[in-house]
Structure 1
Amino acid sequence: MLIDLIADALLLGGAVCACVYCFVLSRRLKKLSSFESGLGGAIAILSTQVDDMQRVLKETEATAGEASSQLKELVQEAEDAAGNLEVLLASLTDMPEAPITQTNIPTHPGVPVAAPSAAVEPDVFSFVTARARNT
């Protein structure tokens, strides 16, 4: 009899603990499933953020495409300018090395020739011509 009474008391205690556990679990599930503050609200916020991020990603891709095309144009212009500079440097190597004096300045008939104000040194273009020859 005493053992039956102890077994019933333990069974009653277990049932009370199970009831308290179910009550606490029920309250947590209600909080979790509430739309405003629980998991539903978090899912709604994340969904709007994903939509915003997709929109921003599309705008960024469009901007990057425009920047890429502008960069290609600028690179092409730079390559053209580099080609022009190479031609100019190559033409500098064909220049005579003699200093410019009054005797080798080309003259046109009927045009008065003024005396140069300062003598041009023969090494004025030496850096440019040496650089052009080395490339």
Structure 2
Amino acid sequence: MELISNILLIAGALGAAVYCIVLSRRLKKFNQLESGMGGAIAVLSAQVDEMTKALEKAQTTANTSAEQLRNLTKRAEIGAEKLEIMLASLHDLPAPPQAAPRPAASTPPLEVEEEIPTAADEAESPKRARVVRRRQRESNIEAAE
């Protein structure tokens, strides 16, 4: 009985040794940098490093562009406020004296409509007359083809 168990133990040890040799050879092929999976893993690792660097550069560029856009937006808002103030101050100026009339071809004349208040409107509250100004359209405009 002891002899049978020793034979089985030796056979098991030989089987394990053969299995280890096979795994060792496969692992060597797997880890070869030139042709095996090791090479593919090394290449992918290098690509991941490059992509990480490119992503960091893109993030810094995007942050810089966003900051520049914020600054330009602030400047535009300040300029718009200044223009609104200038336009509001222009309404307070007296009308300039009339110069020689301009030719009709350069600027089309304005059409003026006045809304005349009715008796019912005057009874409710005194309102000023409303003036609607519209540019006359030229009748000789051709449609685009």
Return the structure number with greater strand share. Answer: 2
Partner of 1:108: 97
TM-aligned CA deviation for residue 80 of structure 1: 0.9
Matched, 1:118 2:112: yes
Q: Secondary structure at the match of 2:97?
A: coil
TM-aligned CA deviation for residue 94 of structure 1: 5.3
1:50-69 matched pairs, under 5 angstroms: 50-69=45-64
Matched, 1:19 2:14: yes
What is the rounded CA distance, in whole Å, between the counterparts of 1:82 and 1:25 in structure 2?
75
TM-aligned CA deviation for residue 82 of structure 1: 0.8
Return the structure number with greater helix share. Answer: 1
Give structure 1 regions of 4+ aligned residues with deviation exceeding 6 angstroms.
none
- Structure 2 gaps of 5+ residues are 103-108, 115-129, 133-145
Question: Which of 56, 78, 85 is residue 83 of structure 1 equivalent to?
Answer: 78
Q: Which has the higher contact order (CA 8 A, sep 6+)?
A: 1
Sort the Cα spacing of 1:44 and 1:116 in 2 relative to 1 into closer, same or farther, 3 A.
closer
1:28-67 matched pairs, under 5 angstroms: 28-34=23-29, 38-40=30-32, 41-67=36-62
TM-aligned CA deviation for residue 91 of structure 1: 4.7
TM-score, normalization: structure 1?
0.59
Deviation string 1:37-73 (CA, Å, 9 cap, x unpaired) is x244333322221211222222232233333323222
Sort the Cα spacing of 1:107 and 1:25 in 2 relative to 1 into closer, same or farther, 3 A.
closer
Q: Secondary structure at the match of 1:106?
A: coil
TM-score, normalization: structure 2?
0.55
Sort the Cα spacing of 1:92 and 1:24 in 2 relative to 1 into closer, same or farther, 3 A.
same
Identity across matched positions, percent: 11
TM-aligned CA deviation for residue 122 of structure 1: 6.9
Sort the Cα spacing of 1:87 and 1:109 in 2 relative to 1 into closer, same or farther, 3 A.
closer
What do you get for the CA RMSD once the two structures are aligned? 3.6
